[in-house]
Amino acid sequence: MSSLNLDPKNTGKQYWKSLDELGEAPEFKTFLEREFPEGAAEMGSGVSRRKFLQVMGAGMALAGVSGCKIVRRPEQNILPYNKMPESLIPGIPQFYATAMSIGGEAVGLLVESHEGRPTKVEGNPKHPSSQGATGKYHQASVLGLYDQDRSRTPVKGGQSADWNEFWSDAGKLFETYKQNGGQGLRFLSGYIGSPSLADVKAHVLKTYPKAQWTTYESVTRDAQAQGIAAVTGAGLDPHYKFEAAKRVLSIDADFTEAESDHLKYGKAFVSTRNPDLGTEKMSRLYIVESMYTPTGGTADHRLRVKPGQIVNVLILVAKELQAQGLNLGDWNAEISALSADAASAGVSAAYIRELAKDILEHKGASVVVVGKYQPALAHAIGHALNASLGNIGATVEYKPSALKALNGESAGSFESISELANAMGAGQVETLVILDANPAFATPADLDFAGKMAKVKHVINLGPEANETSALSEWHLPLSHFMEEWGDGLAYDGTASIAQPLIQPLYSTQGAAELLAGLSGFEHRKSHDIVKEYWRKQSNGMDFEHKWRESLHDGVIAKTAYASVNPGTAKDGISKLAAAHAAKAPKAGGLEIIFRAHPNLYDGRFANNAWLQELPDPITKLTWDNAAFISPKLADKIGVSAHLFNKDKTGTSMGEYRHRPMVRLTVGGKSVEAVAWIVPGLSEDTVLLHFGYGRRSTGKVGTGTGFDAFAIMNSASPFLAGDVKIEATGGLYEVACTQDHWSLEGRPIVREAGLEGYEENKAEAFSEEKWNEHPIDPVDGKEKSLWTEAPFDKGGARGDYDFSKGMQWGMVIDLNSCTGCNTCLLACTAENNIPVVGKEQVLRGREMHWIRLDRYFSGNIDNPELVFQVMTCQQCENAPCEEVCPVAATVHSHEGLNDMTYNRCIGTRYCSNNCPYKVRRFNFFNYTNQWKNSTLSMQKNPDVTVRFRGVMEKCTYCVQRINRARIQYKNKGQEVIPEGAVTPACAQACPTDAIVFGNINDASSRVAKLKSHPRNYGVLRDLNTKPRTSYLGRVRNPNKAIEKIQA
């Protein structure tokens, strides 16, 4: 994939050249300068994002009324290459390997670059954490690069400055620290995942021996580290091998979505979810959680438990296992000493008995996974169980912690930041250097970090954007994006990657390592040199250049993964943790609140990323806001359910109200107001509020969206608090949700079966006869019809196309594999130039996503089951959209694609009315104007038409990728594109390979085989639409004994 030239003289920089030249071109410079005055946002601070969208919308509407006078073809200057970079062919994208770190864990990526512009991120198949897949943050990172609100220059006290000024200021300041050893000098950073940065950090601390370094991350892995350390005596990380696990017990672990290495775990877990493995081999997932997570949606048994009681359920399981004869060895006595009460945990003893029995029957093939928000005690017990069940080495292995190797021993994130806040409050901090962190926002309110920053004389803040912290800093320094800067990173298993840049810094930015190097030695080393020199040292000089270039090309440094180690055994760990936990745990019975990182915005760092803002929350489908999630019963209790859902009719929808009630949440004397939102399946007497929203100061996209959970978080027990008060304020708030309706209404859209039922009669389980009333003709297997289909070869309804000949594209989506993670949606957005429409438009149902994840609840509304369904254009052979378009703007191709001809479309929207799947999207406004004359336009994929106001659009099966492959193979003289040569963006990004695409006429292709699988069915097939996209029915593997108990 990479076109990297392996010439040793060439330093691997040649791909910048185009941008060097582009960057120096006067047009480009004036374009940047004129459109964005340095240090200033595009619009005045008095203009909100909503206002901006309104003004833009109104402007567009007026422009539309004025009709044909719109300038439809903007003038653009094309700048030819003065010197053509080698290996670059205009129009042919290049791929470069790099890596992105979040929370100190790197995932290897391949970034697509068009003539020097990074446009799209793919996973690096060679990287162990990616294996070709990506997560949503990776997909959205390319938009972060072109974010218009990024800081462009250093800012001193609110005034734009330049780096020379900073260095002369810093030179004076740090000269004194050099002399006094760094007295009063503090550094604050998030988890460092980069070995070279850790090396520079060590150098800094050597230069200023009295300086102190605080590592703080609100999404912490402390509990896991402490729990494992307490029972093994070593700083180890668990690595689960789900591919070998037949029984999985997840204790609040959203391991396919939010835990460390979740991309890898998701893939491994899903490999055991194929029902054709049979009852012996198909895995069974038990999950204990309070709020539904995507992993919870894939579970066979979900135990809904109040957050404070989750650890007690684990204790009950441990004790039950013990009672059933499991020898816990050294921990036997400690587990016996623990106490937990099934009744107050809200679970039945019989349930726990059957669960334990099932796990015990699968010794050595089971695994207990504990989530990162659970207390250390849970992690310790989890390890004890895994060790006693003989799972270590089989389904769990332990490796040294990369995070610990790079960040050193830590008392814990929240403990560290409290210590720093206290020191700041006591006036002991003179200078605080903040590296890519936003403590003024992302710290619990009890610390009053922002208030205490006033007591620090000098605050130097290096960050990507002007934010809450930079506003309180003396110096705000702009940080380079990872695609602009050399770096490196360690994967969760220790595999090192070099993160090479794709583009020269767009603005006057620097990397963290560059800044630190400058501050420590006053030498202005470039990140490239820092990274390369670090790895040169590691390689002992053995043919380094070759190895370096190989690593750059592959995206991983070979043989750097940690070897697994045998965990030791430490005594008294569990009892100590139990004592500590008992002191903190909330009392049973009261109302509890949990705080979790927002699934899209993380800890708030992605708040200005419009793709992530408009990405629906996986469970609730909210966009542009978070909400206080409450159960239907709690809504009743506090008297807001009347405004929250339709109970009069079916009780299965959020109802027609556009304005939702506000509630005030009070914890420990601090309170915050947030909008309430009902979530089926959330444990009763529980409130969940995601942190990351409620940014007070970021770019124009994220400022003022949502509600700030940090305002009521407490650093002593950050993720769980008891004794919370919730009351309706009487206020109302508009919430933009993309899916109000919960229920499937008994429609055969998502088809599910139990494993046993499926095994008994595979042909029957998902058949049309069973699920649809429409009779099937036994002769041809098609729906019986009064209408005789026109023969293909006689210029029938579809012209001369014969779908039995040539390449015919089709797709199969496996509902057993899909975890509802939303990555496909973002991949599609990036690949297909899909605009963001803003909250106002989402409120009107005008979101533009070509692919969506339908979420349905079934069963009891308090404790339902959950299923996701990827829904996108089904490329019907008998497309209802095609027959109603008056101008033939949507027509069929000879390869079975339902094509949109944008130039022909006049925008009647009749096609959308007639689409049973409602997957067509209409450009109500000229959304593309957001990109005009902006850096955002650099992200656009040149292979995909940018759509104008007034036209319909929809999924194309990534026809641009099909055509690229066609050209490639035609050049080789091959008419047929072989299997695997075309992968649509969604399928490529999918972490669990749930989407399979290919030529259905090629009998050997994966897609053709799946199409004849008994689980294969078409949604709304009885309408005779003949969809090309079909689904593999969902098969759950429930425990019969537990089902009996529940019944």
Partner 1 sequence: MVDRIGHAGTLSSAILFLFRQRWRTAINRFSEAMTIFAVMCAGIFPGIHVGRIWVIYFVFPIPNQMSVWPNFRSPLLWDVFAVSTYFTVSVLFWYMGLIPDLATFRDRATTKVREFVLSVFALGWRGSARHWQNYERAYLILAAISTPLVLSVHSIVSFDFAVSKVPGWHTTIFPPYFVAGAVFSGFALVETLLLIARQVFGLHKVVRMHHLDNMNKFMLLTGSLVGYAYAMELFIAWYSGNMYERFAFYNRALGEYWWAYWIMVSCNVIAPQLFWFKKIRFNIPIMFIITILINIGMWFERFVIVITLHADFLPSSWGYYRPTWVDIWTYIGTFGLFGTFFLLFLKYLPQLAIAEVKGVMPEANPHFGDDHHGSAVSKTSNSKGH
Q: How far is the CB of 751 from partner 1 (least distance, A)?
A: 14
Return the number of the residue (700 or 920) whose C-beta is nearest partner 1. 920
Closer CB to partner 1, 63 or 405, in the complex: 63
Q: Is 176 exposed, middle or buried (0-12, 13-18, 19+ CB in 10 A)?
A: middle
Residues 20-59 contacting partner 1, CB under 8 A:
none
Contact pick of 174, 917, 927, 997 for partner 1 (by CB under 8 A): 917
Which two three-digit tokens encode residue 432? 């605080």
Distance of closest approach, residue 72 Cβ to partner 1, in angstroms = 9
Task: Note whether 744 binds partner 1 by CB under 8 A.
Answer: yes
Residue in 939, 955, 758 with CA at minimum distance from that of residue 851: 955
Indicate the burial class of 921 (C-beta count within 10 angstroms; 0-12, 13-18, 19 or more).
buried
Nearer to partner 1, 177 or 1017 (CB): 1017
The CA distances from residue 616 to 255, 645, 821, 828, in Å, are 20, 19, 10, 14
Residue 492 CA to residue 496 CA, distance in Å, equals 10
857 touching partner 1, by CB under 8 A: no
Question: How far, in Å, CA of 916 to CA of 881, rounded?
Answer: 9
Residue 460 or 866: the one with the smaller Cβ distance to partner 1 is 866
Q: Quick check: 888 binds partner 1 (CB under 8 A)?
A: yes
Residues 950-1009 that bind partner 1 (CB under 8 A): 950-952
Burial environment of residue 62 by CB neighbours within 10 A (0 to 12, 13 to 18, 19 or more): exposed
Q: How far is the CB of 1014 from partner 1 (least distance, A)?
A: 24
Q: Does the footprint of partner 1 cover residue 773 (CB under 8 A)?
A: yes
Which span (128-136, 565-573, 602-610, 876-884) binds partner 1, by CB under 8 A?
876-884
433 lies in the site for partner 1, by CB under 8 A:
no
What would the 3-class secondary structure string for 805-843 be?
CCCCEEEEEECCCCCCCCHHHHHHHHHCCCCCCCHHHHH
- Does 907 interact with partner 1 (rule: CB under 8 A)? yes
Q: Is 906 in the site for partner 1 (CB under 8 A)?
A: yes
Instruction: Indicate the residue among 310 and 867 with the shorter CB distance to partner 1.
Output: 867
Applying CB under 8 A, which part among 343-351, 438-446, 575-583, 738-746 lies near partner 1? 738-746
For the chain, the helix, strand and coil percentages under 3-state DSSP, each to the nearest 5 = 35, 20, 45
Could you say whether residue 945 binds partner 1 (CB under 8 A)?
no
Looking at the DSSP bridge assignments, the partners of residue 1034 are 752
Q: How far is the CB of 754 from partner 1 (least distance, A)?
A: 23
Q: Is 651 in the site for partner 1 (CB under 8 A)?
A: no
Selected binder of partner 1 within 425, 494, 590, 880 (CB under 8 A): 880
Query: Which one of the spans 187-195, 556-564, 570-578, 649-657 is the region binding partner 1 (CB under 8 A)?
Result: 649-657
Is residue 508 near partner 1 by the rule CB under 8 A?
no
The correct pick among 253, 356, 612, 749 for binding partner 1 (CB under 8 A) is: 749
Q: Is 876 in the site for partner 1 (CB under 8 A)?
A: no
Which residues are within 8 A (CB) of 211 and not within 5 positions of it... i.e. 6 or more apart?
A: 177, 181, 182, 185, 186, 187, 204, 205
Q: Give SS3 for 941.
A: coil
Name the residue type at position 529. D
Size of the site for partner 1 (CB under 8 A): 59
In the bound state with partner 1, the residue whose beta carbon lies nearer, of 510 and 869, is 869
Measured from the CB atom, the residue of 46 and 746 that comes closer to partner 1 is 746
- Which residues between 63 and 102 bind partner 1 (CB under 8 A)? 64, 67-68
Contact 917, 1020 (CB under 8 A): yes
| Distance from chain centroid for Cα 227 | 26
From candidates 24, 745, 756, 793, binder to partner 1 by CB under 8 A: 745
Q: What's the min distance (Å) between Cβ of 889 and partner 1?
A: 8
Nearer to partner 1, 271 or 929 (CB): 929
Which residue of 181, 329, 639, 845 would you call a contact of partner 1, by CB under 8 A? 845
* Other Cβ atoms within 10 Å of 949 Cβ, number: 19
What token pair was written down for 535?
A: 């790895």
**Closest by alpha carbon to 534, among 1036, 196, 1031, 947?**
196
Of the ranges 11-19, 101-109, 736-744, 960-968, which one interacts with partner 1 (CB under 8 A)? 736-744
Q: Which is nearer to partner 1, 434 or 750 (CB)?
A: 750
- Taking the alpha carbons of 143, 147, 150, 152 in that order, is the dihedral positive or negative? positive
**Binding of partner 1 at residue 886 (CB under 8 A)?**
yes
Q: How far apart (Å, rounded) are the C-alpha atoms in residues 569 and 236?
A: 12
3-state SS, 717-783, equals: CCCEECCEEEEEEEEEEECEECCCECCCCCCCCCCEEEHHHHHHCHHHHCCHHHHCCCCECCCCCCE
Residue placing its CB nearer to partner 1 in the complex, 405 or 732: 732
Q: Minimum distance between the CB of residue 951 and partner 1, rounded to whole angstroms? A: 6
Residue 492 CB neighbours (<10 A)? 28
Q: Report the residue number, 267 or 855, with the smaller CB distance to partner 1.
A: 855
Candidates 46, 325, 746, 781; binder of partner 1 (CB under 8 A) is 746
Stretch that binds partner 1, among 48-56, 326-334, 906-914, 989-997 (CB under 8 A): 906-914
Q: Which of 619, 711, 813, 905 binds partner 1 (CB under 8 A)?
A: 905
Beta strands in 385-532 (DSSP E): 396-400, 431-435, 458-463, 475-478, 487-490, 496-499
Q: How far is the CB of 635 from partner 1 (least distance, A)?
A: 19
Pick from 751, 852, 921, 1034 the residue near partner 1 by CB under 8 A.
Answer: 852
- Does position 717 interact with partner 1 (CB under 8 A)? The reply is no
DSSP strand pairing (431-435 vs 809-814): unpaired
Per CB under 8 A, which region of 129-137, 186-194, 913-921, 956-964 contacts partner 1?
913-921
Selected range binding partner 1 among 733-741, 779-787, 800-808, 994-1002, rule: CB under 8 A = 733-741
Binder among 537, 805, 918, 932 for partner 1 (CB under 8 A): 918
* Cα angle value 69/71/77 (rounded, 5°): 160
Strand ranges (DSSP E) for 348-486? 366-370, 396-400, 431-435, 458-463, 475-478
Separation of alpha carbons 653 and 739, rounded Å: 9
Cα dist from 318 to 150, 286, 352, 359, 392, whole Å: 50, 14, 10, 11, 17
Query: Binding to partner 1 by residue 884, rule CB under 8 A?
Result: yes
What's the token pair of residue 495? 């595999």
Shortest separation between residue 892's beta carbon and partner 1, angstroms: 12
Our finding on whether 143 is near partner 1 (CB under 8 A) is: no
Residue closest to 93 by CA, chosen among 122, 119, 123:
119
Near partner 1 in 657-696, by CB under 8 A: 658
Q: For residue 843, how many other CB atoms are within 10 A of its CB?
A: 17
Q: Is 165 exposed, middle or buried (0-12, 13-18, 19+ CB in 10 A)?
A: middle
Closest C-alpha to 807, from 894, 875, 874: 894
Q: What angle do CA 141, 147, 153 make, to 5 degrees?
A: 115
Applying CB under 8 A, the span of 486-494, 571-579, 623-631, 734-742 interacting with partner 1 comes to: 734-742
**Span interacting with partner 1, options 249-257, 287-295, 538-546, 844-852, rule CB under 8 A:** 844-852
Question: Could you say which of 176, 739, 934, 968 contacts partner 1 (CB under 8 A)?
Answer: 739
655 in contact with partner 1 (CB under 8 A):
yes
Footprint on this chain of partner 1 (rule: CB under 8 A): 61, 64, 67-68, 646, 649, 653, 655-656, 658, 739-747, 749, 773, 844-845, 852, 854-856, 869, 871, 880, 882-888, 904-910, 913-914, 916-918, 922-923, 948-952, 1019-1020, 1023
